[in-house]
Structure 1
Amino acid sequence: MKAKAFDIRLFKRILKYTKPYKTVFYGVIAAAILLAVFASLRPFLLKQTIDHYIKPHDQNGLLFYITLMGIVLLLEGIFQFFFVFWANLLGQNIIKDIRTKLFKHMLSFRMKYFDNAPVGQLVTRSVSDIEQIARIFSQGLFMIISDLLKMLACLIIMFYMNWKLTWIVIAAMPILVYITRIFQRKMQVAFEEVRNQVANLNTFVQERVTGMKIVQLFNREEIEHEKFKEINQKHNVAWIKTILYNSIFFPIADIISSLTLGFVVLYGGFHILDGDKFTTFGDLFSYTMFIGMLFNPLRQIADKFNEMQMGMIAANRVFDILDTQEDVQQTGTIKAKHFAGNISFKDVRFSYIKDEEVLKGISLEVKSGETIAIVGSTGAGKSTIINLLNRFYEIDSGTIAIDNQNINDFTLSSLRTQIAVVLQDVFLFADTIYNNITLNNDAISREQVIAAAKKIGVHDFIMNLPKGYDYNVKERGVMLSSGQRQLIAFLRAYVSNPSILILDEATSSIDTYSEELIQRATETITKDRTSIVIAHRLATIVNADKIIVMHKGQIVESGTHHELVNKADGYYKNLYDSQFSEAI
């Protein structure tokens, strides 16, 4: 959605975030008013000094007014400090609240949302776009208010001093306002393009850095470099447009300001030479200051309005995410404390993309304490079953129940607490092994982790690493092998003491040594616990209580390994013969 030149509804929505900080908000307004008063007093005091004390050679009066101007200048500096500090403080507090709200909102999204949303774009929205919102207050709104108040105060004093000279100044102001408006419109379009290109650049860089191994393995460095140059060039062009508009506008504004000053000096000078007492030397001196105080804010208001507009555009993007209703429906009220582990799928249908069913009326039963294996070719729907059980996605129709209770009736957090999943692609955070195991859950002590590690046979492997459980595995666990990451994932699942365990291709792509450890760990953590295994390794399939064979979103066979392998021309037998016979 494209932002308007000034979207009042959007602006009101942003202002709602100032409510917890009303004291600071009104403090900034008060400081802006006092700044306007003290700033406009300086030229007036200069006029009085020149006309009434310098010209008549009144030394005592001159000293008094110089002291008075010093006091006014000091007060202006003090309130300038409070104005800038409070405006920035308010902006930072507001974006802190918005960023927290945005992150919490994204945590509730269904996996479907993240399937379609580029990670780099979400990072841009959460970091740089939100940071830009702060500039609405630090560089935009309050600066504009302060400048307008200063201009109003100056005009009042100027009319009081010399209304003839003031009309000359006012006559030039509409020209500058008109040029400023054109500049603002051009800059709005340019800044929106800049934000788009920043998001594209962040998305591209994030994806290539994450997938650097693939880039280098397939020798795509030059290709990706050229693509980056193209995206970077578009980003560069977008910024150059803003530079061009600034380069045109500010010299024109300076010329108008200088011409206005020239007319004031010319007109006032002739009147002084003609002996007109209404115009004085003090007027000319003070008007040189007044014109700068009127025209500089007027031309800078365009720049500050653009800062505000960039913040509005950024806020519009952030609110688009906040308004996205992709969260998992949390209508359940039952808090799952512990499951016996009876799982039931009844005529479950599901599609990631509308009208393209991945599961076509799946029905299956898993009894408490059973270990079942799900096998099938890629795309058969094996992992989808796991995703639906955890409610990462919502089913199209049918029911999924645990212990005869629809999973939608459970609170989402308690449901997922009772289900542990070990994935093939283990994700580890850039943190210690201990924190990656507990995921910073204070309820799990180090003693519990060590005891669990010893029980499943991974304690020695961890202690052989530098710093043991305090070893930092770096981003995505790059300091560990794939097998070691799998062992950490097994331990992570085990210490959570789940009612139901899911192993999704968790024993693939590992070395022989790690396989032996994982096999031992598998036997330990699946004992007396309902377990679902997306099968890959032969030993896991053979030992399962029941094997479910899937093909194109349907269950085509089920039974024990012995039953299925002896079924002539069966799906499992063909799959077994083609994929597993060499492993025996």
Structure 2
Amino acid sequence: MKNKLGYLYDTYFMNVYHHDEMTNIHQVQLEALIQIMIMAVLLLAIIIYKKQQMTLGTVMLVYLLLSYMINPLMKISVFIAMHDELQIIFERYKEMLPEKRDRKKKIKKIKSIELKHVSFSYGYTRPLFDHFQLKIERSLFIQGKTGSGKSTLLKLIMNQLQPTKGEIVINGINLQELDLNSYYSHIKYLNKTPVFYKESLRTNMIFDRLFLEDKMIELLHYFMLDDLVNGLDLKLDEQGGFLSSGQGQLVMIIRALLSEPDVLILDEAFSNIDQERLQLLINYLNFQKIIVIIVSHQINMMNCQFDCVIIDSGKIVGEEDYGNRFST
């Protein structure tokens, strides 16, 4: 938006410069034309006067009337130039207005996410996904090798990437038909890199929703982060300040849980969390009435509460294709 505004301002001032230049040329031409017309009319009046068909007073009256026409004609010329300039301003203003969009559908609760024959490729490379199908109605653990398409799958679900073919359906509605603000208010995505604001730890977790403070403190105690309760007023920087990498990831997860999403996506979001707190997290998520989608290389996180999908080269594979990774 900053670059677009800069471009519009530069274009506007350049157009104003060109119009001022054209206005000056037009005014010179108009004044020259008026002077020529005055000379022609005076010459004609003198000829008529010499033929004694017009008095000298009438000749002077004609000259005065013609001279009075100069100023109005100049103003008309300026008005025409201003009209063009205002037209340019209006056109630039219209470019800054948001495009008229079709009314999007809103959702109250995400109950299912389905990928129907989804195909996707980066540029002109071989498709990473080709007619990929997956329906998510309960918590899911996604396993796969590096580069198998796990993170790309999550980005497609988050609408950060759009499929080249097929569709992503939320509660039976195409994702492209949904109001994204409504969609994002029900789904949260976290990766391994926490995002912080230059505010206090309390503000980073609950913002201005002070009614969530008791719940926040309860979760901090549950995840054995009692030291942070006394540091809620300490200010963080964009890297998390005094928080360790594991604490930073837990703080982001707590912040997401406090917003009570219908779907929580964790893309290696607990890679730096110790095993004890990780087990507490899994136990907590098991009792939440939300869909949790986890991508992690930590296979020991598997439990009977989660469905499991193994992805290899953009396809869902079975144990016989991938190896006996999960005995369950």
For the aligned pair, the TM-score class normalised by the smaller chain equals 0.5 to 0.7
Structure-1 residue corresponding to 2:239: 476
Pair 1:524 & 2:284 matched: yes
Q: Distance in 1 between matches of 2:263 and 2:103?
A: 19
Structure-2 residue corresponding to 1:447: 211
Cα gap change, 1:347/1:331 in structure 2, threshold over 3 Å: closer, same or farther?
A: farther
Amino acid aligned to 1:390: M
Structure-1 residue corresponding to 2:173: 405
Give the CA deviation at 1:478.
Answer: 4.2
Q: Is the 8 A contact 1:390 1:415 kept in 2?
A: no
Cα gap change, 1:555/1:449 in structure 2, threshold over 3 Å: closer, same or farther?
A: farther
Structure-2 residue corresponding to 1:426: 194
Structure-2 residue corresponding to 1:490: 253
SS at match of 1:483: helix
Q: Distance in 2 between matches of 1:542 and 1:429?
A: 35
SS at match of 2:189: strand
Pair 1:336 & 2:134 matched: no
Aligned pair partner of 2:299 in 535, 538, 563: 538
Structure-2 residue corresponding to 1:177: none
Cα gap change, 1:522/1:462 in structure 2, threshold over 3 Å: closer, same or farther?
A: farther
Instruction: List alignment gaps of at least 5 residues for structure 1.
Output: 1-101, 104-124, 150-318, 558-563, 578-584
Q: Distance in 2 between matches of 1:405 and 1:349?
A: 18
Cα gap change, 1:448/1:132 in structure 2, threshold over 3 Å: closer, same or farther?
A: same
Cα gap change, 1:355/1:331 in structure 2, threshold over 3 Å: closer, same or farther?
A: farther
Larger fraction in helix: 1
Cα gap change, 1:330/1:433 in structure 2, threshold over 3 Å: closer, same or farther?
A: farther
Give the CA deviation at 1:487.
Answer: 0.9
Cα gap change, 1:381/1:539 in structure 2, threshold over 3 Å: closer, same or farther?
A: same
Amino acid aligned to 1:406: N
Q: Distance in 2 between matches of 1:435 and 1:486?
A: 16
Cα gap change, 1:332/1:418 in structure 2, threshold over 3 Å: closer, same or farther?
A: farther
Cα gap change, 1:379/1:331 in structure 2, threshold over 3 Å: closer, same or farther?
A: farther
Give the CA deviation at 1:355.
Answer: 4.3
Instruction: List alignment gaps of at least 5 residues for structure 2.
Output: 25-91
Q: Tell me which of the two structures has the higher relative contact order, counting C-alpha pairs closer than 8 angstroms and 6 or more residues apart.
A: 2
Aligned pair partner of 1:462 in 228, 253, 273: 228
Give the CA deviation at 1:415.
Answer: 0.7
TM-score scaled by structure 2? 0.65
Cα gap change, 1:332/1:406 in structure 2, threshold over 3 Å: closer, same or farther?
A: farther
Q: Is the 8 A contact 2:310 2:316 kept in 1?
A: yes
Give the CA deviation at 1:545.
Answer: 2.6
Cα gap change, 1:447/1:376 in structure 2, threshold over 3 Å: closer, same or farther?
A: same
Task: For residues 345-386 of structure 1, give each alpha carbon's deviation from its aligned partner in whole angstroms, at most 9, with x where no partner exists.
Answer: 11111122234312122111222xx21111101111111111
Q: Is the 8 A contact 1:346 1:399 kept in 2?
A: yes
Cα gap change, 1:372/1:403 in structure 2, threshold over 3 Å: closer, same or farther?
A: same
Cα gap change, 1:384/1:448 in structure 2, threshold over 3 Å: closer, same or farther?
A: same
Give the CA deviation at 1:516.
Answer: 2.5
Q: Where does 1:193-212 land on structure 2 (aligned, <5 Å)? A: none
Cα gap change, 1:453/1:487 in structure 2, threshold over 3 Å: closer, same or farther?
A: farther
Tell me how large the CA RMSD over aligned residues is: 3.8
Cα gap change, 1:474/1:131 in structure 2, threshold over 3 Å: closer, same or farther?
A: farther
Task: For residues 18-54 of structure 1, give each alpha carbon's deviation from its aligned partner in whole angstroms, at most 9, with x where no partner exists.
Answer: xxxxxxxxxxxxxxxxxxxxxxxxxxxxxxxxxxxxx
Structure-2 residue corresponding to 1:548: 309
Q: Distance in 2 between matches of 1:330 and 1:522?
A: 41
SS at match of 1:548: strand
Q: Tell me the matched-pair count.
A: 253
Q: Distance in 2 between matches of 1:404 and 1:472?
A: 44
Structure-2 residue corresponding to 1:362: 132
Q: Percent identity?
A: 24
Q: Is the 8 A contact 2:116 2:131 kept in 1?
A: yes
Cα gap change, 1:385/1:330 in structure 2, threshold over 3 Å: closer, same or farther?
A: farther
Give the CA deviation at 1:396.
Answer: 0.9
TM-score scaled by structure 1? 0.38
Structure-2 residue corresponding to 1:345: 115
Q: Distance in 2 between matches of 1:504 and 1:352?
A: 20
Q: Is the 8 A contact 1:420 1:493 kept in 2?
A: yes
Aligned pair partner of 1:505 in 268, 273, 295: 268
